[in-house]
Amino acid sequence: MRKLQKSTRESIFTYAIVIVAFLATQGLMLSGNISSALTGQLVPICAYVVMAVSLNLTVGVLGELSLGHASFMSVGAFSGVTACISLANVIPSDPIRLVVGMVIGAICAGAAGFLIGIPVLRLNGDYLAIVTLAFGEIIKNLITCLSVGVDSRGLHFSFLTSSSMLNLEEGGTVIINGPMGIAGIPKLSTFTAGFILVVVTLFIVMNLVKSRAGRAIMALRDNRIAAESVGIPVTKYKLMAFVTSAALAGAAGALYAMNFSTIVATKFNFSTSILILVYVVLGGLGNIWGTVIAATVLTILPEMLRGFNDYRMLLYAIVLIIVMLATNNSRLKLIPAWLKKTLGSKTGKESISNE
Amino acid sequence: MSFLSHLISGISLGSIYAIIALGYTMVYGIAKMLNFAHGDVIMVGAYACFFMVSRYEIPAVVGVLSAVVICTLLGIIIERLAYKPLRSATSLAVLITAIGISYFLQNAAQLLWTSNPKVFNSLMGDGSVKLFDGRLSISVTAIVTIVVCVIIMLALTWFTGRTKMGKAMRACSEDKGAAQLMGINVNFTISMTFAIGSALAAIAGVLLCSAYPILTPTTGSMPGIKAFTAAVFGGIGSIPGALLGGVLLGIIEIFGKAYISTQLSDAIVFVVLIVVLLVKPTGLLGKQVQEKV
């Protein structure tokens, strides 16, 4: 039997982890061995895994720090839920409506990613990071000012005015109510749907990374000038990674929103973006299965620390700091690894992803 | 007249941003790290001053000074425990650690002082100066804020330009290796930078809560982000840039609130930032670095 390629083995391993985790959770749920608090966390875990894997595409594979990933989640959530509510009469089947909602969420977030990506990707390093942060705040602010309603004539939009200015007909409903966000969301998301979205995301991201385009994106990360000089179009591949990442985040946002009955734009703020970035860095830049595990563990961790009551978020912070110190402190590492790090790669990017 | 009074409140808010931005920009210039815990040091400073002055009834000046001392020590401790071991790690690892510190400070504050908002009485009193037959009224807090900001700017410019320590800081931000070869203690210099940044954060905290008197464990985060934006706006790493960026940001924010829309004022600030960065990718006063292969 021929030995499989390293990357193929890695992807089989990643799919295996996810499928085993899904089956194990289903088994536990059937036998009733799972707490209700954790059951409520299952869909958010799936959404955060998709968020983290898609952010890893921008931060780990493309090598650009993005601090506004939650804004794409927000765009996806609001457009997806709007689509689901307004299509309630057209598509009666819940699963199909959920899929349509996620697809529309992904398309809207991808379009937002494209519009933001054109100016943002011209910048480099920390300046790029601050502009993504700025776009995240702008999108949050704009959605807070937006009202949307639906009646028999179609969708109505109004901006900076209250929802009573929508001019709805008799029997029309307000969907997005300015700062109050959306209330009365149909609870369409299921754990199975979340699992399928995770697998689809893994399939898209891992195949993109292994393709010709993926190698071009990684070449841009490692040395942009050298990549440019061998004829790799910088803007095209940067945008490809950025838009894919945004679209996946949009689908995750739609999934996440339809797990709750109400959702407001301020939920998807800077701290949410940072939370997802923490999953990516702890999981390992460019390391997909590490991200999956980090997102899952860190979403459950505050639940598991619930026994410590008020101290749980403090403990979470301490765990975060200690993990960062332990995995990055050169003095704590074994000497060969230290030698390799100091003599070998100067970028330090590999030193994280190799762990 | 309303234009003038908006302008003055804009400059006063901008002065607070500028003082916070100085902390970001100095730390970035020397340690090349985004210190996201800076906003929470502001919060700690404000709480320290609040308890000193309103609970233990210590004179305001002593209260501010002790807040400065507490924040300076806090800054040095954070640097020693969390950032120093990561000096050779990637900037992302340091960034995440800084976020961890920020979570830690916010949650520790919540446990110690609960999340109930505290009402911070302005140390400068609520008097105001009336000009043009009372048509223009400027609060004493705004005047003190602007004056303090100017004094801090002058002192820092003198410090970085004339003193030995300041020159060591500039040398370290230029080239750490070469600075070490010239006999500069790089680690000590970095610690000093954190100490100065945190001391400024304490002053900013007191000024911020004198102008906007509600104090909660998350008081520092939004001004922190805005000040960070101001630092980038002016060109991160540059001290005059922090002042310029901070003041411009404050003026834009207040004018946006007054003339365009209260709800959209944050969006306006960030739109201006993006436009500036697209025209001048390293900020208003930032240095252009030529890329080499």
In whole angstroms, what is the distance from residue A333 CA to residue A340 CA? 11
CB A123 within 8 A of CB B277: yes
Residue whose C-alpha is closest to residue B149's, from B47, B256, B243, B38: B243
DSSP 8-state secondary structure symbol assigned to residue A4: P
Counted domains in chain B = 1
* Residue A319 included in any domain: no
Region label for B158, one of left (φ > 0), alpha (ψ between -120 and 50) or beta (otherwise): alpha
In DSSP terms, which residues pair with A149 in a beta bridge? A156, A174
Determine the average pLDDT of the residues in B240-244.
89
In whole angstroms, what is the distance from residue B262 CA to residue B253 CA? 9
* Residue B255 included in any domain: no
Percent of chain B at pLDDT > 70 equals: 95
Q: How many CB atoms lie within 10 A of CB A90?
A: 8
Q: With both helix axes pointing from N to C terminus, report the angle between B265-279 and B221-234 in degrees, rounded to the nearest 10.
A: 30
DSSP string, B1-54: -HHHHHHHHHHHHHHHHHHHHHHHHHHHHHH----TTHHHHHHHHHHHHHIIII
Token pair 């003193």: residue = B163
| Residue type at B60 in one-letter notation | A
* Residue B236 included in any domain: no
In whole angstroms, what is the distance from residue A204 CA to residue A210 CA? 10
pLDDT at B216: 86
CB B232 within 8 A of CB B245: yes
Counted domains in chain A = 1
- Residue range(s) defining the domain that contains residue B79: 12-222
**Does residue A332 surpass a pLDDT of 50?**
yes
Q: How many CB atoms lie within 10 A of CB A66?
A: 30
DSSP 8-state secondary structure symbol assigned to residue A240: H
DSSP string, A221-232: HH-HHHHHHTT-
| A187-246 pLDDT, tens digit each | 888 888 889 999 999 999 988 988 999 999 999 888 888 998 999 998 899 999 999 999
Judge whether A133 is closer than 8 Å to chain B, CB to CB: yes
Chain B residues near any Cβ of chain A (below 8 Å): 28, 34, 36, 82, 85-86, 88-90, 92-93, 95-97, 99-101, 103-104, 107-108, 110-111, 221, 225, 228-229, 232, 236, 261, 263-264, 266-267, 270-271, 273-274, 277-278, 281-283, 291, 293
Residue B119 tokens, joined: 């009402």
**Does residue A355 surpass a pLDDT of 50?**
no
Q: Predicted confidence band at A341 (pLDDT cuts at 50, 70, 90)?
A: low
Residue A92 tokens, joined: 């009666």
Determine the average pLDDT of the residues in B13-20.
92
| A258-283 pLDDT, tens digit each | 888 888 888 888 888 888 988 888 88
- Residue range(s) defining the domain that contains residue A126: 6-295
* Residue B235 included in any domain: no
CA distances (Å), origin B274, targets A159, A242, B17, B224, B271: 22, 18, 18, 18, 5
In DSSP terms, which residues pair with B119 in a beta bridge? B214
Q: Which helix (H) or strand (E) holds A106?
A: helix A94-120
**Does residue A352 surpass a pLDDT of 50?**
no
* Residue A140 included in any domain: yes
* Residue B279 included in any domain: no
Q: Predicted confidence band at A3 (pLDDT cuts at 50, 70, 90)?
A: low
CB A67 within 8 A of CB A128: no
| B175-204 pLDDT, tens digit each | 888 988 999 998 899 999 999 999 999 999
In whole angstroms, what is the distance from residue A115 CA to residue A350 CA? 31
Q: Predicted confidence band at A285 (pLDDT cuts at 50, 70, 90)?
A: confident
Q: Predicted confidence band at A13 (pLDDT cuts at 50, 70, 90)?
A: confident
Higher pLDDT, A353 or A10: A10
In whole angstroms, what is the distance from residue B78 CA to residue B104 CA? 11
Q: Cβ-count burial of A32 within 10 angstroms (0-12 exposed, 13-18 middle, 19+ buried)?
A: exposed
Determine the average pLDDT of the residues in B268-284.
84
Q: Which helix (H) or strand (E) holds B147?
A: helix B140-162
Residue whose C-alpha is closest to residue B235's, from B291, B190, B205, B279: B279
Give contacts of B238 with chain A, Cβ < 8 Å: none
* Residue A352 included in any domain: no
Judge whether A314 is closer than 8 Å to chain B, CB to CB: yes
Q: How many residues does chain A have?
A: 355
Q: What average pLDDT is seen over chain A?
A: 81
CB B224 within 8 A of CB B38: yes
**Does residue A347 surpass a pLDDT of 50?**
no
Pick A278's closest partner by Cβ from B99, B104, B108: B99
CA distances (Å), origin B156, targets B162, B166, B171: 10, 9, 16
| Cα–chain center distance at B128 | 25
pLDDT at A114: 93
Contacts of A67 (CB under 8 A, 6+ apart): A129, A130, A132, A133, A136, A270, A273, A274, A277
pLDDT at A178: 74
| Cα–chain center distance at B59 | 24
Determine the average pLDDT of the residues in A317-328.
81
Minimal CA separation from B51 to chain A, in Å: 22
* Residue A339 included in any domain: no
Q: How many residues does chain B have?
A: 293
In whole angstroms, what is the distance from residue B26 CA to residue B79 CA? 14
Cβ distance A134 to B229 less than 8 Å, yes or no, reads yes
φ, ψ of residue B118 in degrees (nearest 5): -100, 140
Region label for B132, one of left (φ > 0), alpha (ψ between -120 and 50) or beta (otherwise): left
* Residue B257 included in any domain: no
**Does residue A353 surpass a pLDDT of 50?**
no
Contacts of B220 (CB under 8 A, 6+ apart): B39, B40, B41, B42, B43, B46, B205
> Which of B37-51, B118-132, B234-248, B260-274 shows the lowest per-residue confidence on average (mean pLDDT)?
B118-132
Pick B93's closest partner by Cβ from A270, A281, A313: A281
Residue B217, CB-side half-sphere exposure with 13 Å CA sphere? 15
In whole angstroms, what is the distance from residue B253 CA to residue B211 CA? 15
Q: Predicted confidence band at A346 (pLDDT cuts at 50, 70, 90)?
A: very low
Percent of chain A at pLDDT > 90 equals: 21
Determine the average pLDDT of the residues in B111-123.
79
Give contacts of B86 with chain A, Cβ < 8 Å: 324-325, 328-329
Cβ distance A130 to B263 less than 8 Å, yes or no, reads no
Residue B133 tokens, joined: 């037959």
* Residue B43 included in any domain: yes
Q: Which of B24, B252, B277, B291 to mutate to test binding with chain A, by most A CBs within 10 Å of its CB?
A: B277
* Residue A149 included in any domain: yes
pLDDT at A309: 67
Cβ distance B89 to A329 less than 8 Å, yes or no, reads yes
Determine the average pLDDT of the residues in B65-75.
92
In DSSP terms, which residues pair with A147 in a beta bridge? A158, A177
In whole angstroms, what is the distance from residue B227 CA to residue B236 CA? 11
Q: Predicted confidence band at A351 (pLDDT cuts at 50, 70, 90)?
A: very low
| A47-86 pLDDT, tens digit each | 999 999 999 999 888 888 888 899 999 999 999 988 888 8
pLDDT at A345: 47
CA dihedral for B70, B71, B77, B82, sign (positive or negative): positive
Contacts of A325 (CB under 8 A, 6+ apart): A332, B82, B85, B86, B97
* Minimum CA–CA partner of B226 in chain A: A134
Q: How many CB atoms lie within 10 A of CB B7?
A: 14
In whole angstroms, what is the distance from residue B173 CA to residue B180 CA? 12
| A155-199 pLDDT, tens digit each | 777 776 666 666 666 667 777 777 788 887 888 888 888 899 999
